[in-house]
Amino acid sequence: MSKALIYGLISSLFFSSTYILNREMATASYAWQWTAALRFLIMLPLLALLLSKNHAYRPVLQSIRDNLLSWVLWSCVGFGLFYVPLCYAASFGPAWLIAGAWQITIPAGALLTPLFLAPSLVNGKLQQIRHKIPIKLLLTAVLIMCGVGLMLVHEATSVSFITVLAIVLPVGIAAFAYPLGSRKILFKHGHNLNTLQRVFGMTLCSMPVWLCLAGFELSQSQLPPLEQIFQSGVVALFSGIIATLLLFEAANLVKHNLSQLAVIEATQAGEVVFTLLGGVLFFHDGVPDLFACLGIILVLIGMVINSLVVRK
């Protein structure tokens, strides 16, 4: 569990690049459709290259051929319905607000638990049991959310309610879509595939979403500028490959315990901390005030309590 927890925290560091760079592209008036599509269009050949050794992509393609509809459906949910709303929301508010709203995924991960079956020993026999919502973990998730709220209370006063709503609603959809899609692929088709293979499979099967977005922009005679391609490439490498592989590997290490899986997803609260720090260090954002500092402490305490609850 400790190894999975470390992977989850490091992944949140790399994921924070998404909010910062997406906001930079939005403020430069780059089309959010290209911001979304370019990340995965760049990721696909990079992942294929990583899997080219010993033809490691073949088991993925075989699994996709055998379960095409399921792969496409849950990949479009887990990647498409996750990243499209995030890029859209970047046009309406600062990176810290989007990163804070994204923490809805913490209770979302716990609330989704009853949708999945997990192997458990019942009277000496291995059976598939539908787990209940882990209440203790849900309570610690609420603590983390309170911390996020404190971090945003001062900043949110400078943004209109409509703007906050335009961010929270799409990011809320993304917060449920990401764990739902990735878990479905993990439990349905991930048994004989490693983390890299699963990410490659989901990227490939979510291509209909990205090709549609790219096709729409091309139909409007809108080509992405070189700077947007470069920044999207950085997001693809940092967030799409490094962070996603770390998070998926962390999930793979604890996939037989849905409570621990919810904890790994809760480590993504670190994104708020790293996004705030990144904004201050690299983009000269304002230093967090007292409320924000208290919020950061609450987030860290909540993550530690999550880990201790699972260990107990």
pLDDT at position 205? 97
DSSP conformation letters of 231-276: HHHHHIIIIIIIIHHHHHHHHHHTTT-HHHHHHHHHGGGHHHHHHH
**Cα–Cα distance, 186 to 201 (Å, whole number):** 11
pLDDT at position 64? 95
Torsional class of 273: left (φ above 0), alpha (ψ -120 to 50), beta (otherwise): alpha
Q: For every one of its 312 residues, what pLDDT tens digit does the chain have, with 9 covering 90 and above?
A: 678 888 888 888 898 888 889 988 988 889 999 999 999 999 999 999 989 888 888 999 999 999 999 999 999 999 999 999 999 998 887 787 788 778 777 777 777 777 766 656 556 665 666 667 777 777 777 887 788 778 777 666 766 777 778 888 898 899 899 989 998 998 888 778 888 899 999 999 999 999 999 999 999 878 999 999 999 999 999 988 898 888 878 877 776 776 677 677 677 777 878 887 887 777 666 667 788 788 878 877 877 776 666 655
**Cα–Cα distance, 11 to 104 (Å, whole number):** 17
**Cα–Cα distance, 168 to 174 (Å, whole number):** 10
pLDDT at position 197? 92
Distances from the Cα of 21 to the Cα of 9, 11, 216, 220, 253, angstroms: 20, 16, 23, 24, 30
Question: Which pair of structure tokens corresponds to residue 73?
Answer: 């459906």
